[in-house]
């Protein structure tokens, strides 16, 4: 009888705790339902929130966000473990990003998700580390020497693109994916700008460069973490996207660390002579900040490089792709840009006919003159091209390079 009594007691105790847990879960579901019922944004289910709708729209995430942004200035997207607040209200945006930005850091959640790729770079760092990144970049990116070096690289890249397109046209190819061309051009230019190394991905053969493939794959897999509530478990077990992420990060980091080591040795051989150092950003940082203990860390330098490359290549590709799309969609805009450029060049004593078309004569003109003509496009010339500036600005207004900012 004693055993039966004890057994009944245990069953009763388990049943009691089951009732308590079920009751708590029910209260939680009711609370979440009432909390999100009147909240603007996608429908939020108890416990899971908007996770199902979010996952079904991952492939068109920006369009999905835009749909709700057109209905609400500020709205909530809740997931299984997190809540996100989106806003397009200019007053709120000014307050968060300008007036009181120090109170709105990236936070531990985003940092834990993105650190594997960005490290302690400026994209996800806060406080003192963010200030250090900003100081490093601000002093170099906007220096006159680096600005000229950067412009020269992009001019050469533009010449390379023109030559490649002419070669393809001469082979009878009339259609080409220009976004892929801009992607390759941007990566080559940005990487040479930062590291002083040309990846040579821009060619008519369109070969994939291992580093670029690893970089872009690692970026995509890192972003998946922001929508995957089980990414830490997958990382621990090295499953699926986390295994792919680790493999590509390892390749990417080994490639970068070799370049950093090589640049350190070159800078040591320059005997502190700034004029003898390469124009790339990495060489100048290693020399100008050699007394900074943080610069001694290859990890910190690697993080700076990755963040600059990601910022530069992404915004450049988006801006070029949409600007050319809009120009091609409005031929009269193309004509005005060419007329503006022709007038400015003629004022400088350069009389070169600017035509558009696809006949042999135009191809011969570009082959013989594009390099000489392109090098005349310095900062003074570009500052006079007001119509071109307005065209690019309007394209960016309609299709911003960074449509969502965290």
The domains found in the chain, sorted by start residue, are 2-107 (no CATH), 135-398 (1.10.630.10)
The encoded tokens of residue 193 equal: 């700008």
Under DSSP, is residue 87 helix (H, G, I), strand (E, B) or coil? strand
Most confident stretch, 52-61, 153-162, 300-309? 300-309
Looking at residue 309, its pLDDT comes to 93
Q: Where residue 2 falls among pLDDT bands split at 50, 70, 90?
A: very low
Lowest mean pLDDT among 96-110, 143-157, 347-361: 347-361
Rounded percentage of the chain residues whose pLDDT exceeds 70: 83
Looking at residue 172, its pLDDT comes to 82
Most confident stretch, 9-18, 19-28, 332-341, 356-365? 332-341
Q: Model-level pTM? A: 0.80
- pLDDT one-digit tens code per residue, 241-281: 999 999 999 999 999 999 999 998 888 776 655 555 667 88
Please identify which residue in the block is written with the tokens 């990487």: 191
Q: Where residue 360 falls among pLDDT bands split at 50, 70, 90?
A: very low
Looking at residue 292, its pLDDT comes to 85
- pLDDT one-digit tens code per residue, 363-379: 666 666 777 777 777 78
Q: DSSP string covering 132-201, please? A: HHHHHHHHHHTSHHHHHHHHHHHHHHHHHHHHHHHHHHHTT-----HHHHHHHHHHHHHHHHHHS-----
Average pLDDT, the chain: 82
List, in order, residues 6 or more apart from 242 with CB less than 8 Å away. Answer: 221, 231, 234, 235
The encoded tokens of residue 338 equal: 């060419």
Q: Where residue 137 falls among pLDDT bands split at 50, 70, 90?
A: confident
Rounded percentage of the chain residues whose pLDDT exceeds 90: 30
């Amino acid at each position: 009888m004693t055993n039966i009594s004890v057994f009944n007691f245990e069953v009763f105790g388990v049943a009691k705790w089951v009732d308590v847990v079920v009751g708590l879960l029910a209260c939680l579901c009711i609370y979440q339902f009432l909390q999100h019922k009147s909240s603007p944004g996608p429908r939020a289910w108890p416990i899971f929130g908007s996770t199902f709708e979010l996952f079904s729209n991952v492939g068109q995430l920006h369009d999905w966000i835009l749909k709700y942004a057109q209905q609400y200035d500020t709205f909530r997207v809740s997931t299984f473990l997190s809540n996100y607040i989106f806003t397009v209200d200019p007053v709120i945006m000014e307050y968060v990003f300008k007036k009181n930005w120090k109170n709105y850091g990236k936070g531990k959640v985003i940092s834990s998700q993105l650190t594997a790729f960005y490290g302690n770079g400026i994209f996800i760092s806060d406080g003192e580390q963010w200030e250090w990144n900003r100081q490093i970049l601000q002093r170099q990116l906007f220096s006159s020497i680096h600005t000229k070096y950067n412009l020269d690289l992009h001019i050469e890249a533009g010449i390379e693109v023109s030559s490649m397109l002419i070669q393809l046209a001469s082979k009878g190819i009339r259609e080409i994916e220009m976004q892929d061309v801009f992607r390759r051009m941007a990566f080559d230019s940005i990487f040479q700008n930062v590291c002083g190394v040309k990846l040579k991905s821009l060619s008519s053969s369109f070969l994939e460069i291992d580093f670029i493939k690893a970089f872009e794959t690692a970026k995509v897999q890192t972003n998946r973490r922001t929508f995957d509530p089980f990414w830490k478990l997958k990382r621990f077990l090295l499953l699926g996207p986390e295994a792919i992420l680790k493999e590509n990060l390892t390749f990417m980091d080994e490639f970068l660390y070799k370049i950093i080591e090589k640049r350190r040795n070159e800078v040591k051989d320059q005997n502190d002579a700034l004029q003898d150092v390469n124009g790339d950003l990495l060489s100048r940082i290693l020399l100008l900040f050699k007394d900074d203990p943080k610069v001694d860390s290859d990890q910190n330098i690697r993080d700076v490089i990755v963040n600059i490359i990601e910022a530069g290549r992404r915004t450049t590709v988006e801006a070029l792709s949409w600007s050319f799309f809009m120009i091609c969609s409005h031929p009269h805009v193309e004509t005005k840009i060419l007329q503006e450029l022709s007038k400015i060049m003629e004022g400088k004593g350069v009389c070169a006919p600017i035509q558009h078309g696809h006949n042999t004569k135009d191809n011969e003109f570009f082959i013989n003159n594009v390099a000489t003509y392109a090098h005349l496009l310095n900062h003074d010339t570009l500052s006079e091209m007001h119509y071109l500036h307005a065209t690019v600005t309007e394209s960016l207004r309609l299709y911003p390079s960074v449509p969502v900012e965290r």
